[in-house]
A and B are shown apart, each in its own frame.
Chain A
């Protein structure tokens, strides 16, 4: 078919003519219906279809193109494209048409490179607004007997709009991503995110630094591989990660640092939080882990926590942690019916060391004793310094019997310990109170009070002693609070509520020495109970009331002698008064003594003063002065508790005393402890060489008396708990009198 025929066919179709069918017979009928169908289809297409003949004249111009170009088929058919559209600038279209017609090559003209190939408008409105249609054009060869081409134009305006939206959304989300990235890379915390399979899809710089992984290397790897927490603390396991992905509860290690093992095997302490990332449907889409390096804080925290619970000097637990532990054990005892033991330990000689050698020596003593104690307790026991020279030990799951055995072992090890400082050596001992922690214990405070009371009783019964708490100790304990002592002592001074006891010091040498009595002070409390001096003298010393107490005793003794002059003169005995270190250094006391002798007209020879070795050495110059003055008056002088502190005889030469009282700590076990025996023996010998009388304190049994006699010790001072047998022996040796003289103020 020639061009003309085609044009005729199509032109006729436009007018609805069917004349061709009539002239061409049956076969033409088929052709005609096919031609109609083709025309209809071409017109129905929602794309533009133009067919060009070999001379580039339009042979088909469908309704779509007619509508969008506003050029009717009638106007278009037979014309060339550049006649219809005067301003076709697209060289690509011309080239494509030529390629198709001349070489049979098809072409695609994309919207991107050729936005508006033809001046077409999607709608009338667009035309009015001069908004050209975005087009995608294909040019295909169509070869029959002639070379033709089909131009197909597709309206891609909506695709362009979609593309634009996509781009602006992408640009927006990219902007947001940059924004987020900037935030994440500038915050101080490490951030790692994963996809829904827990594989890394983001990590910031801080996370790279902490883990040692670069994002490039870590990308796609599983979270537990990068976020590698050391096995010893059940940190972020695969299980936890998966659980978080599935159920999504956020987990955090805040407050509990975990060790992260970096790529370089370095351990870094971190705190982390793990959370799930959800989409708008609440489906989990990944994880976010935020963590930070708390290594420094952790060290600091550990240090602070250590400091809070430990004593810096001895490196033992401190009072605070002891109280916590005790409370915990009391709780266990009451709830789980367990039995534990609390040991309260007080060093007997700490004050001596501290006062004579200074705080540095005192500190060193505490350190060494701490080490000693540390070696004596079991791993599970709890050892603490409770303050000053007081220690507490908690024996876990331990009955009283075992507790006593261990505490005794501790007492002995401290007793055997010698503390060396410069050229001096000190004996050390401890007074130990022990109490059972059982289901009947009310509270930690209650238990500690009992232990304290037991320790106090141990101290009061001559130091270097172990005492198991008994109910009656409570009374002592109740009065033990030092602070209350100030007012109680003051009241006692004001209201004369002290009484004096006398304890005999018995001559055993058989060379005509006469017995004498040591005057001991007791406080009569408001309920008329008698308080021993160990309970209030330390408080009186600490709060500066000791001078007044001393003066009260001196005056009271002289007053008593004056009022029972006949009795005392008949017995011809001396009374020994204890003086504190404070009084030794006090001119006021010395003047007071002189004044009292004048006032009561008591012969000075009837009075003996006892000063402790420690007090004398601590105030050596003033002690010397004092001793010389009272000796000049005619009084005798004893050095008390000799050997308890500095076992240095060098001082003795400088102290013009008359007698030495050997510290009871050596005496009470001398029959079983050869070292103690040797100590007593050597002190006795040196004393004798220097022309001093010797006195043994704390004599408890016959065995000791026999030993002392064989050594040639001059006097013994018995404990009140002396047994009957012992008493009879003493009576034989002291035909004079042996009785307790109670000289009451009342």
Chain B
């Protein structure tokens, strides 16, 4: 697996943070309330390591919004929350204090898709902007299951050696503080491409 240098990882984190800022602004406007999003660090991991990294939630049932993209580099961007947390998040955003349902309803799943869509669009958009490369995006979809099941749905990753960009992210609004993960699955070629783009943009950084 190709490695990204520490500098490159920091650069990605910074770029994504810009996207998160945009997304947070959008979400804040959507819900008429301040929403903060943050990305602390970026890690490039194997699938197994990624699974163990998020083992605190990996065994749980997860809710995910997945958006595939291709173009200069291709991959799947995923926003993952424990199912129970996704419920809290959606209802906090919707200011719906009636927790009558124990699972996300169809409409709430769509709402979560929109939230994911806003974040993923902003982040992927900021990556694309920086490199001035255009990407093709699919409409986001909603998925449920364990981490393993979610990964297995992404046929793009056929070999385990292929990497994952893992970002831990925080949602913060009012009294709600939710941890989720932002994951980008990329094949080797795309990672190399990304690495190259980073090199082109920031210059060689060793």
Contacts and interface: CB of A to CB of B under 8 A. Distances in A.
B98 A91 contact: no
B36 interface: no
Given A104-B135, A107-B121, A163 B106 contact: yes
A112 B107 contact: yes
Interface stretch (B108-116, B145-153, B174-182, B184-192): B108-116
Contacts, number: 80
- A interface residue count range (under 10 / 10 to 19 / 20 to 34 / 35 or more): 20 to 34
A104 B110 contact: no
A166 B105 contact: yes
Nearest to A171: B100
Contacts of B105: 163, 166-167
Contact of A112 (B94, B101, B118, B139): B94
A104 B137 contact: yes
Contact of A103 (B94, B106, B125): B125
B85 interface: no
Contacts of B87: none
Nearest to A167: B100
B101 A99 contact: no
A113 B26 CA distance: 12
A156 B107 contact: yes
Contact of A105 (B93, B108, B121): B121
B136 interface: yes
B174 to A, nearest CB: 17
A378 interface: no
Nearest to B134: A104
A108 interface: yes
B75 interface: no
A110 B111 contact: yes
Interface residues of B, number: 32
A706 B101 CA distance: 110
Contacts of A105: 121, 124-125, 137
Contacts of A141: 137
B13 to A, nearest CB: 21
Chain B CB count within 10 A is highest, among A107, A114, A160, for A107
Contacts of A140: 139
B111 A113 contact: yes
A107 B117 contact: yes
Nearest to A136: B110
B130 to A, nearest CB: 12
A174 B101 CA distance: 9
Contacts of B129: 103
Interface in B64-99: 90, 93-94, 98
Contacts of A162: 106
B66 to A, nearest CB: 12
Given A140-B139, A167-B100, A174-B100, A111 B121 contact: no
What 4 A-B pairs have minimum CB-CB distances, sorted nearest first? A112-B111, A170-B100, A110-B110, A110-B114
Given A106-B117, A111-B110, 9 more contacts: A91-B29, A105-B125, A108-B114, A110-B113, A114-B114, A159-B107, A163-B106, A166-B105, A170-B101
Interface of B: 26, 29-31, 90, 93-94, 98, 100-101, 105-108, 110-111, 113-114, 117-118, 121, 124-125, 128-129, 134-140
Interface of A: 91-92, 95, 99, 103-114, 136, 138, 140-141, 156, 159-160, 162-163, 166-167, 170-171, 174
